[in-house]
Amino acid sequence: MNKQNLLPQNDIHRRIIHLDMDAFYASVETQRNPELKNKALVIGQDPRNNGGHGVVATCNYIARKYGVHSAMPAIKAVKLIPKSELVFIRPDFKKYRSVSAEIHSFMHNITDKVESIALDEAYLDVTHNKLGQKSAVQLAISLQRRIRTELGLNSSFGVSYNKFLAKMGSEYAKPFGRTVILPDEVKQFLGMQKIEKFPGVGPKTQEQLHEMGIYTGADLQQVDDFVLIKKFKKMGYFLAQHAHGIDLRPVIADSDANRKSIGMERTYEPAIYTRDEALTHIRHYCKHLEEELKKRNFFAQTVVIKVRDNDFDTVTKRRKLTKPSNSQYDFYDSARDLFDKTSNFLEKGIRLIGVTVTDFKQDEYQAINLFDY
């Protein structure tokens, strides 16, 4: 089947930057306490002090060399890292939000088209920018240098003409790297990527692709798009687009959100396969949602949970509270019950969990999006 009939066409005239801070939480802690620089730093509760519970929020690159990664049970980190090197620090989200706000102010000096994905990650559309700079690369380099000079933190960036390619570039360059993907370089760049580097390719999908003889982006590019869509459905359509570097999603400026809700969500790599691990993250979300509501004296009447699995199937469920609340416990009780109605997603592995509270009393409330866990 003709590819033109299946896939949209790219707009190669856009200039998109994906900025990703390097081990953000851990780097903020190291900047605050330089003695941690040569330690294997894990952000999360020390499981040796709380009965073996807890998960790794993130860790520095030293800890990653031992195989530690985010969403891993914290007790496993204890087993992987020598005791003399391991340091646990409880997350200080107030501090992380403060530093993130400074970084975002730097970005808004360049353009108002900034889409926050997390405290440590954002897209910038600099096709038209405040500085009149035609080179997206120069803008990205200046931003990276400013963050390092003024905050002492490292970041990586990717530059290309869409969000997918820009993000692939920033991940390829880490840590403290720069990747620019021009239109005539897309096929070669994607071709040399391992298939598991493509968004949405978890262990199960990876295994299925391997069975088809697909191990790299180059292999994926050789497969008929219709074959991918027929076998993987929605996920296959994304794979077909990504194989050819296609992504039409706009950068949605934070100020344009206009949703009367406060929401937090995160994508997990590797995916989550246990209820306890998922609920640990949901509990964190609810705690910080409470903080944000109380700062604004808001009370929410509805809790919404969003779950996406490795096949890109997504479900959203909501529950109206018996009365408006700004309590993390009310939010968690509802979110937990709603999550349990999606428990079948655990079999395939959960790639994304989001919790949102909405239906506020104040009509004048403007939307706030949090992605700070």
- By annotation, the residues acting in catalysis are 121
Cβ–Cβ under 8 Å, residues 95 and 109: no
CA dist 264 and 83 (Å) reads 34
- Cα separation of the two ends of the chain: 43
Is 359 annotated among the ligand-binding residues? no
Q: 58 by DSSP, 3-state: which? A: strand
Is 309 annotated among the ligand-binding residues? no
Residue 73 is classified by DSSP as B
CA dist 321 and 325 (Å) reads 8
**How many Cβ atoms are within 10 Å of 366's Cβ, its own excluded?**
10
| Plot region of 211 (φ>0 → left; ψ -120 to 50 → alpha; else → beta) | alpha
Q: For residue 118, give the H/E element and its range.
A: strand 114-118
**How many Cβ atoms are within 10 Å of 71's Cβ, its own excluded?**
19
Binding-site residue numbers are 20, 120
Binding-site residue numbers for Mg(2+) are 20, 120
